[in-house]
Every structure is written in C-alpha cells, then in structure tokens.
Amino acid sequence: MTNDLTRLSASDLASALAAEEVSSVEATQAHLDRITAVDGDVHAFLHVASEEALETAARVDARRAAGEEVHPLAGVPIAVKDVVVTKGLPTTAGSKILENWVPPYDATLVERIKAAGLPILGKTNMDEFAMGSSTEHSAFGNTKNPWDLERIPGGSGGGSAAAVAAFEAPLAIGTDTGGSIRQPGAVTGTVGVKPTYGGVSRYGLIAMASSLDQAGPVTRTVLDAALLHELIGGHDPHDSTSIDEPVPGVVEAARQGASGDLAGLRVGVVKELSGEGYQAGVSARFDESLEQLRALGAEVVEVSCPSFAYALDAYYLIMPAEASSNLAKFDGMRFGLRVEPAEGPVTAERVMSATRGAGFGDEVKRRVILGTYALSAGYYDAYYGSAQKVRTLIQRDFAAAFAKADVLVSPTAPTTAFKFGEKLDDPLAMYLNDIATIPANLAGVPGMSVPNGLSDDGLPVGFQILAPAKADDRMYRVGAALEAALESRWGGPLLSQAPDLKTTELAR
Amino acid sequence: MSTISRDEVARVAALARIDLRPDEVDRLAGELDVIVESIARVSEVATPDVPATSHPLPLTNVFRDDVPEPALPVQDVLAGAPQQEDGRFAVPQILGEE
C-alpha cells in the first residue's frame, strides 16, 4: 500500500479505515492538502469545505473508535458537483445568478452521503447549469484537464472528473443529461456512470432537462463507482420518477467482472457510433478493447441503431425546451441574484428580465431562448412533439439491439480532450462531443465510460458500455472485466501514466 | 422551415424574460439558425404513425398518502432571498400599471 492516501482507490481507503490503519481525519486532510497543492492550476473546485469535512471525518473516527457499526464508505472523502444542493454549502450550478446562494436543504443523494459519514470536500466546477461539454461555460472559470492543463476536462462535470483524476478526491458526484458524467470520464481517464433514469433520486438536483437528467458516480475504478452507486441509488419518495425497486447488484457485478470471465456474454457494437468523425487513436483503442473482451470469452456482434442519426437533433430540442421551463424559477424573487432595470418602472417582470439578462451566461441564454422558441405557439407539435417521436424510435432501436446483445459498446467520445477555445464559437461542433452518449439519456438506459488507453496524442480515451434499463449491473461486470484486463497489460491504472502536476508548497 | 430572424430572437427573448443587448441578439440570430436547421431533420422520421415518448420509463401517476410533511423553517428559506420583510419575500410591484 502506498503511503500517499490520495492515491488509494475509495475501496482500498475504505478497507484501511475499517482496519483503523488510517483515520478519516488523516485521509480527509491528505485530500485537502492535495487540493491546496494542485487546485490553483486545475480549478476543479468552486468551494472547498475544509472545516465541515474535517468535522465529519472526526465524527466518523470517533464512532469507529467507539466500536459503532458504520457504513463501509464512512470516512472516505467525496466531492459533489455544484448542481447538487448541499445544505450549508454554497451551490451555484456554475452560474452568476446563484453566486453565494446557500441552499436550505440537502439533495436526497447528499442526505445519503452525509448519513453514511462521507466527508464532503467541496463543490466542483461545471458548465453553467450543466450546459456544455468543456466547463468553458462556467461563470467561474475553466477547469483544466490534469493530463494537459491547456485542454478541456470535458463537461459539464469537468470539475468532478478532474478532481478525481488529479487525486483531489477518490469519489465524486456527477450528473448526466447528455453525457456530462461519461464524456468527462473519457477525456480525463476516469470512470463515470450514468445509472438507469430514475435509479438515483433527482430531488435536490438543479434541473436542466427533467426527463433526461440523472446523477451518478465519478471515480477512478469501476468497483468504486459501484460502491458509490449503491450508496446513492434506490427509491426516493421525494422524486416521483424514482424507480421503486432495489438497486441492481452493482457491487457484486463489479467484483464478479474483475475475475475476468465474460464467457457467454454478447457484446453489441453499435455500427452508427464509429467510423467517420472518430479520431484514429480513439477507434484503434476501441478495436483493441473489443479484442480484449473476446479474449475474456465474450461474443462480439454488430448491431444497427439507425435512429441514432437523429438523436442529437432530438436532444437539442427536448433539452432546451425542458431547460427553458426549469430555469423559469430564476426570476430574482425568492433566491439568487436580483437586478433592477437601469431605467423605467421597477416591476417584477422587468426585474426578472434584467436579472436573467445579467445573471445567465451566453450558452444558457442560447438554450433558454431556443427552448422558448420550440415551445412557443405554433411550433410545439412540429418541434418538441417530433423530437419525442424520435425518442420512441431510439427506444425501439435499443430494444432490437438488446435482443441481440447483453450490452452495447462504443467509444464514449469521438475525440480526446481538445484545447480551450477550439470549439467555443461553434455550438454544433461542441454538441458533437455528445453524439455517442445522448442516445442513452433519450432512452433512459444506463451507461458507463471506462478508460481504455491513450490515443496517438497521449491523451486518454474512454470505452462506453450501455445496458438495458434497470440492468446497470451488466455494465459493471463488463467494465470491471475490461479494466482488470487492461490494467494487467499496462502494469497499473491508466492514471499512473498521467504527468505529475506542479504542486504548490503548503504553508502549514 | 422558418429560421430564427433577429426580430424573432428579440420576440422570443421577451417571452423568455431575458434582457439581451443588441450584440447578443445579433449573435444569437446567427447561432440559433444553425441549430434550428439541424432540428428540421427530426421531422423527416417523426411520422404520424410514431407515438411520442415523453418519459424514458413508463410510469403512471405516483401518489403518496395525503399526510402533511414538515416544511422548511421560514427563516431558512428566506435566508437566500434577495429581499425579505416581516417573514415574507419582498418583491417588486407585480402589475405594470401606475
């Protein structure tokens, strides 16, 4: 075991804590020190909650010392994406309109994290209201990719992915509306899971598109993702779309998968999610991973999902339409920013317009206006209604594909991390990042990204695994098997190949 | 398929209650155009025989027992308000008439 506590997986750290080889205060302090040392460059965090985290850690240590039964992850620190409300900790969703807002309640998943005794290190950066694929739309500056500080960490959950990749936290929470957990995972060499829609409560998530949003784990290993998934998942009466069934056996599946036997498993390669537009190194790693899965006993078949060609178009109708409705609550009346118009009468309506004009960034304005347009009189059926029909077609494609295969696979993102600014002025190019991840959100099926190597440019590539709704365990089995096989070939985790970050001396 | 003109952007921005500067209206007119064109493709396959899916998993109405649950303390809720008065949200005049 390494003596650097920040290098441990959550699972190994949990074992060390349970064996009382280390204390949670030591582990939490080690991560806070790491944040101090590298986050000036990485900027994964918008707020660091040192005091609260150490208090939680001390409480867990005391409970363990007193012989109390605690949750297996008790004392393992975690970072939470800033779109998830946390009582007593500022929650901005990356927007000026919520700058300095402190929520009066906890999201259900945060309640579960707190009840299990995981110290919350802080809140992670993101594209404003989770709208983006690079964190360049955060009102509070970009998060940098720990593999190359001139490149994007993915988005919207770039902060959570970068925090985990830079060893600032072993666990983080992300949210995924069109790929915001999986694409950052791919470009930072980390694991990201979007559970089945309804698998994790959305209560307390600042909603972007309610029929697509889903929270999930951001970690460095598949087993860690499963452990966190099990903790935050399960039915919540506060979310009427939450699935009222037990969480699938994801931890057991991850452990079983790590043993490396995939005999009898059918892996479907989605024909439409490869080829043109995919970087050569991304395609090469993908093909090698398929070979690897074959070597573990899986049968690889090709499946076709023709309607996926329309997924991006449908998504960029449904998402803004729902976002424009969800963001109507930012009216300058009850919370957040209030701006009065520079001249003329100060009425509620004019205050609302002035507040939103000043408080929303470019991408949020773009999407809210597009969504308002799509929902306005005369366009509803042609736009939103048609997009919902495409959703049906995509679900049918998935149903047909899952009749031939147990899981479906593709590269997670078509390219590795691009440089800041490269796609900022071209919304469509930015949106193409999500081409492989969006179908899962439209159909509600679970998806995972697992690191599967470096591209020709030396940057990480992700392998996406999709499973049928409520069969999240399948992707954990496949993901853990692939991870174990690749790591034994690499001689360690992919992240051990990442360049060392410059550290700032601690003044302690 | 109609696309979004500058006037249309200004009209929709008013509906969305977002004050835009003239340069923002110009930029959005150009950018939204591209997206609206891409979206027109959706109607190619969204034929009348295809039912719409509003929700990823089929759910019927979800009810709970009609029992009151404790609400958040008023002061906690008001703590984040831009302005408060006498335990209530203080808001600007609602109606535009003088």
For residues A84 and A107, the answer to whether their CB atoms sit within 8 Å is: yes
Nearest to B22 by CA among B32, B35, B36, B9: B9
The C-alpha atoms of residue A189 and residue A167 are separated, in whole angstroms, by: 12
Q: Are strands A191-194 and A447-454 parallel, antiparallel or unpaired?
A: antiparallel
Q: Give all domains of chain B, ordered by start, each with its CATH number.
A: 6-45 (1.10.20)
Share of chain B above pLDDT 90, in %: 53
Q: What is the mean pLDDT of residues B39-65?
A: 87
Amino acid of residue A179? G
Q: Which helix (H) or strand (E) holds A46?
A: strand A45-48
Q: Are strands A299-303 and A266-270 parallel, antiparallel or unpaired?
A: parallel
Q: Which residues of A touch B44 (CB under 8 A)?
A: 310
The C-alpha atoms of residue A125 and residue A131 are separated, in whole angstroms, by: 12
Give the gyration radius of chain A's Cα atoms: 22
Tens-level pLDDT at each residue, chain A (508 residues): 446 999 999 999 999 999 999 999 999 999 999 999 999 999 999 999 999 999 999 999 999 999 999 999 999 999 999 999 999 999 999 999 999 999 999 999 999 999 999 999 999 999 999 999 999 999 999 999 999 999 999 999 999 999 999 999 999 999 999 999 999 999 999 999 999 999 999 999 999 999 999 999 999 999 999 999 999 999 999 999 999 999 999 999 999 999 999 999 999 999 999 878 899 999 999 999 999 999 999 999 999 999 999 999 999 889 999 999 999 999 999 999 999 999 999 999 999 999 999 999 999 999 999 999 888 877 788 888 889 999 999 999 999 999 999 999 999 999 999 999 998 887 777 778 899 999 999 999 999 999 999 999 999 999 999 999 999 999 999 999 999 999 999 999 999 999 999 998 665 5
Nearest to A460 by CA among A500, A422, A416: A416
CA distances to A321, A342, A344, B87 from B94, rounded to whole Å, are 26, 18, 14, 19
The C-alpha atoms of residue A238 and residue A241 are separated, in whole angstroms, by: 9
Amino acid of residue A420? F
| A62 inside 8 A of chain B by CB | no
The C-alpha atoms of residue A24 and residue A74 are separated, in whole angstroms, by: 8
The C-alpha atoms of residue A63 and residue A60 are separated, in whole angstroms, by: 5
CB atoms under 10 Å from CB of A260, counted, come to 15
- Rama region for A485: left / alpha / beta (φ>0; ψ in -120 to 50; rest): alpha
Domains of chain A: which residue ranges?
Answer: 2-308+392-497, 309-391
The C-alpha atoms of residue A108 and residue A231 are separated, in whole angstroms, by: 11
Tokens describing residue A473: 């365990």
Amino acid of residue A110? V
Candidate from B76, B83, B91 with C-beta closest to A104: B76
- Where do we find the tokens 């899986």? A298
Residue from B42, B60, B61, B76 to probe the interface with A (highest A Cβ count within 10 Å) = B42
Q: What is the DSSP track for A331-392?
A: SSSSSS-----SSS--BHHHHHHHHHHHHS-HHHHHHHHHHHHHHSTTTTIIIIIHHHHHHH
Q: How many contacts (CB atoms, under 8 Å) link A and B? A: 185
**pLDDT for position A428:** 73
From A9, A23, A180, A449, the catalytic residue: A180
**pLDDT for position B35:** 63
Tokens describing residue A311: 């997924």
Helix A108-115 and helix A222-232, axial crossing angle in degrees, nearest 10:
110
CA A338 to centroid of chain Cα atoms: 30
**pLDDT for position A328:** 97
**pLDDT for position A1:** 43
The C-alpha atoms of residue A89 and residue A244 are separated, in whole angstroms, by: 30
Length of chain A: 508
**A441 forms bridges with which residues in the sheet?**
none
Strand, coil or helix: what is A465? strand
CA angle A330, A335, A337 (to 5 degrees): 70
Strand, coil or helix: what is A175? strand
Q: Which residues of A touch B14 (CB under 8 A)?
A: 353
Nearest to A472 by CA among A247, A263, A301: A247
- Where do we find the tokens 């009066």? A104
Amino acid of residue A355? T
| Dihedral over alpha carbons A76, A81, A86, A88 (to 10 degrees) | 90
The C-alpha atoms of residue A89 and residue A91 are separated, in whole angstroms, by: 6
What does CATH list as the number for A2-308+392-497?
Answer: 3.90.1300.10
**pLDDT for position A376:** 86
CB atoms under 10 Å from CB of A354, counted, come to 22
Q: What number of CA atoms fall less than 13 Å from residue B50's CA on the CB side?
A: 22
Main-chain dihedrals φ then ψ at residue B88, nearest 5 degrees: -135, 160
The answer on pLDDT for B38 being more than 90 is no
The C-alpha atoms of residue A157 and residue A131 are separated, in whole angstroms, by: 10
**Subunit contact B53:A382, Cβ cutoff 8 A:** no
The answer on pLDDT for B2 being more than 70 is no
From A134, A156, A160, A449, the catalytic residue: A156
Tokens describing residue A158: 């770039």
Tokens describing residue A340: 């009065």
Query: At a CB cut-off of 8 Å and minimum separation 6, what does A107 contact?
Result: A84, A85, A86, A201, A203, A204, A205
Helix A362-375 and helix B22-40, axial crossing angle in degrees, nearest 10:
50
Q: Are strands A460-466 and A407-411 parallel, antiparallel or unpaired?
A: antiparallel
Q: What is the DSSP track for A216-261?
A: EEEESSHHHHHHHHHHHBS--TT-TTS--SPPP-HHHHHHHHHTT-
For residues A356 and B19, the answer to whether their CB atoms sit within 8 Å is: yes
Nearest to A163 by CA among A252, A259, A35: A35
Candidate from B31, B43, B76 with C-beta closest to A366: B31
Tokens describing residue A368: 């809210």
Residue B1 pLDDT grade (very low, low, confident, very high; cuts 50, 70, 90):
very low
Supply the ipTM of this predicted assembly. Answer: 0.93
Q: What is the pTM of this model?
A: 0.97
| B25 inside 8 A of chain A by CB | no
Tokens describing residue A442: 């439209």
Residue from A313, A431, A466 to probe the interface with B (highest B Cβ count within 10 Å) = A313
| B77 inside 8 A of chain A by CB | yes
Please return the burial class of A180, using the count of CB atoms within 10 Å of its CB with bins 0-12, 13-18 and 19+: buried
Nearest to B18 by CA among A345, A362, A356: A356
Residue B98 pLDDT grade (very low, low, confident, very high; cuts 50, 70, 90):
low
CA angle B28, B29, B34 (to 5 degrees): 90
**Subunit contact B82:A333, Cβ cutoff 8 A:** yes
